[in-house]
Structure 1
Amino acid sequence: MLLSIKTKLKLSKQQQIIMSKHAGIARFIYNWGLATSNELYKDELKPDKYLLKKFFNNHVKPEFTWIKEKGICQKITQYAFDNLGDAFSRFFKGLGKYPNFKKKGKHDSFTIDASGKPIPVGGKTIKLPTIGWVKTYEGLPHAACKSITISRTANSWFIAFAYEQ
């Protein structure tokens, strides 16, 4: 059975800055992909997240050195394009509206993983890939998950993940 959990993180000021940087990079990539997709859509081409990701990684990412800053998980680019692809998929199936640009401070979030390896969780601390150890306000079940989503709501950071029981 697949269960999910979301709980509040207890972060230092430095950790909050790192989380904000990750969320900012995820937002930038999503918005860049959406702007590029808008141009394609005007030319009556259907946006493709794989082509966008490939073009971004090969041609755009080298221009922005701040994306490759030390301590920044590089997997957030993958998940930002996946989220954009899912939004377009819902739109083309008639299940949602055309994707909107993300705004700073509204629904800030990003997803990270450990390059396909399971991430062990349990207790009141968790080691996030490239970010390091973070504390939670409540104990987590001892399990392993594939990816972790970190989000901000009202200046509080939360961690969410699904695990198999």
Structure 2
Amino acid sequence: MGVANKAYKFRIFPTKEQEDFLVRTFGCVRFVYNKMLAERKETYEKYKDNKALLRKQKFPTPAKYKKEFEWLKEVDSLALANAQLNLQRAFSNFFLGKTKYPKFKNRKSKQSYTTNMVTGNIKILAGHIKLPKLTPLRMKQHREIPSHHVIKSCTVSRSATGKYHVSILTEYEHNPVKKEINHVVGLDFAMDGLFVESEEGKKAYYPRFYRQAEGKLAKEQRKMSNMMNGSSRWKKQRIKVAKLHERVANQRKNFLHQESRKLANRYDCVVIENLDMKGMSKAFRFGKSVADNGWGMFTTFLRYKLDEQGKQLIKIDKWFPSSKTCSACGHMHAALHLSERTFNCDCGFVIDRDWNAAINIKNEGRLILDLS
């Protein structure tokens, strides 16, 4: 049997005493992370010209600081241990060339900490969750965690609006029966509507939540810029702006979950292009529109929803000329401007440009799958 992971995120409502403990833990985790990073930075500067010696250097551990800083003993030791693992992961990614050199964390960074399940120290009770060194926290559990899922760790976080959440990572045996591929669909990314399906040219009709809220956001941000930074009025206004951003993010996520679920239930295989969204946003100056659509998040949701059912997501090469090729006769048009939204071929075939591209993406996917 294969092993898979799944996370469940729930809202928690700490009391004043519990909130104080969570805030202290966030601070301790940040403090230890920065201390270890400072030491690693010194080591890196010393041995950066000798990679072999640099790799042999040991990471400092949180235990090293507990004698000097007694208050570190008050919080969950597993949270501090995970800070060390996160730093090690950050350096590994840096040496592999995946990310930039790790940065120091400050109070504006994401406020969170992770603790692990060790000998039953995490328990889910009726409407509550028990975490190490904390009395049971009230939790709004809107969905059940299956009994065969084993809790591995929990990440407690605080949003910019002051809301607390716990993300429960579980592990379970997963061996889905591979689905026979009968229904295939191609999706072409659309700036104005998320995607266009190859089947009848259906569009997702993405509501563009950020664009809808942009005027209100600008107005509230102007108000905040005219206030004294750090004043009580500024803090209230900051939360107001954060709530608007949070609402947009939640609307987007909800929409993407719904659309990806529809596709995963309807088709056995979904074919998309392997797009570089960051590059597209810079090249075509569509940064806001690309970020608003959340195509990367959508494809992540789509992949795991298909995997759960033994179905497939196929990504074809981003240089495949899906927009320039006629889906009827196969002739490729060398020049096709972005402003041309209707595809006209010499063979007489006339179709919406994005729909034509979606059909070509589907056909390319079928070739990869070796389907007649």
Query: Does TM, scored on the shorter chain, surpass 0.5?
Result: yes
Alignment match, 1:150? 156
CA RMSD after TM alignment: 2.2
Paired amino acid for 2:171? E
Alignment match, 1:51? 59
Unaligned 5+ runs, structure 2: 49-53, 173-372
- From the superposition, tell whether residues 91 and 76 of structure 1 become closer, same or farther in structure 2 (CA, over 3 Å): same
Does the 8 A contact of 2:158 with 2:164 survive in 1? yes
Secondary structure of 1:163 counterpart:
strand
Distance 1:67 1:133 in 2: 22
Alignment match, 1:61? 66
- From the superposition, tell whether residues 93 and 116 of structure 1 become closer, same or farther in structure 2 (CA, over 3 Å): farther
Paired amino acid for 2:80? T
- From the superposition, tell whether residues 15 and 105 of structure 1 become closer, same or farther in structure 2 (CA, over 3 Å): farther
* C-alpha displacement of 1:22: 0.6
Q: Within 5 A, what are the aligned runs for 1:1-165?
A: 1-44=4-47, 46=54, 51-53=59-61, 56-58=62-64, 60-69=65-74, 72-115=75-118, 117=120, 119-121=122-124, 123-142=126-145, 143=147, 144-154=150-160, 155-165=162-172
Paired amino acid for 1:164? E
Unaligned 5+ runs, structure 1: none
Secondary structure of 1:146 counterpart:
strand
Distance 1:121 1:103 in 2: 32
Does the 8 A contact of 1:114 with 1:129 survive in 2? no
Distance 2:132 2:56 in 1: 28
- Equivalent pairs counted in the alignment come to 160
Secondary structure of 2:60 counterpart:
helix
Secondary structure of 1:43 counterpart:
helix
* C-alpha displacement of 1:139: 3.7
Which structure: greater strand fraction? 1
Deviations 1:85-106 (A, max 9, x none): 0000110001111110111142
Paired amino acid for 2:140? Y
* C-alpha displacement of 1:120: 3.3
* C-alpha displacement of 1:15: 1.1
Paired amino acid for 1:138? Q
Paired amino acid for 1:35? A
Does the 8 A contact of 1:121 with 1:141 survive in 2? no
Deviations 1:113-159 (A, max 9, x none): 24354733364211111112001123452454121111111211110
- From the superposition, tell whether residues 11 and 86 of structure 1 become closer, same or farther in structure 2 (CA, over 3 Å): same
Distance 2:30 2:92 in 1: 19
What fraction of aligned residue pairs are identical, expressed as a percent? 29
Secondary structure of 2:141 counterpart:
strand
Secondary structure of 1:106 counterpart:
coil
- From the superposition, tell whether residues 164 and 146 of structure 1 become closer, same or farther in structure 2 (CA, over 3 Å): closer
Does the 8 A contact of 1:37 with 1:47 survive in 2? no
Deviations 1:43-82 (A, max 9, x none): 01537795311xx424x3201011112xx21111210100
Distance 2:15 2:110 in 1: 21
Distance 2:57 2:143 in 1: 34
Distance 1:14 1:141 in 2: 28
